[in-house]
Amino acid sequence: MKQSLIHIHALLLMAAMLLGAGLTSPAMTIQPAFGKFDTWIKLLQPDATRPSTYSLLEGIARLFNKGDAPIAILLFAFSVCFPSIKLALMGLATARVSQGRSSGLSLALAHHGGKFSMLDVLVLAMLVLAIKGLPGGSKIDLRVGVWLFAVSVAMSLFASLLLQRAERRARAASTFARPS
Partner 1 sequence: MRKLLTYIWPVVLLGVVIGAATGTYYLIQRDLRSLPSNAQTLPATVPATILVGHDYYLWIRLIELLPKRLDGEPWDTGGSGPDIHFSLIWKDNTIYASDKRTDTLIAKWDLLSADVFDLVKTRKIDLESAIRMPIVHVDAGTVVQLNISDSDLTKDDQAGSIEIHPDTLLPGVNVLTGPSGSAIARVEVQAIDARIALPDLVDLVSKR
Q: Which residues bind partner 1 (CB under 8 A)?
A: 9, 12-13, 16-21, 23-26, 38-39, 42-43, 46, 49, 55, 57, 84, 87-92, 94-96, 99
- Nearest approach in angstroms of CB 180 to partner 1 is 29
- By beta-carbon proximity to partner 1, the closer residue of 90 and 146 is 90
DSSP 47-70: GGGS-EEEEHHHHHHHHHHTT-HH
- Nearest approach in angstroms of CB 109 to partner 1 is 12
Longest dimension (CA), the chain: 86
Helix (H, G, I), strand (E, B) or coil at 152: helix
Contact 110, 91 (CB under 8 A): no
- By beta-carbon proximity to partner 1, the closer residue of 3 and 180 is 3
- By beta-carbon proximity to partner 1, the closer residue of 36 and 179 is 36
- Nearest approach in angstroms of CB 130 to partner 1 is 26
- Nearest approach in angstroms of CB 7 to partner 1 is 14
Round to the nearest angstrom and report the end-to-end CA distance of the chain.
Answer: 24
Distance between CA atoms of residues 65 and 33, nearest Å: 24
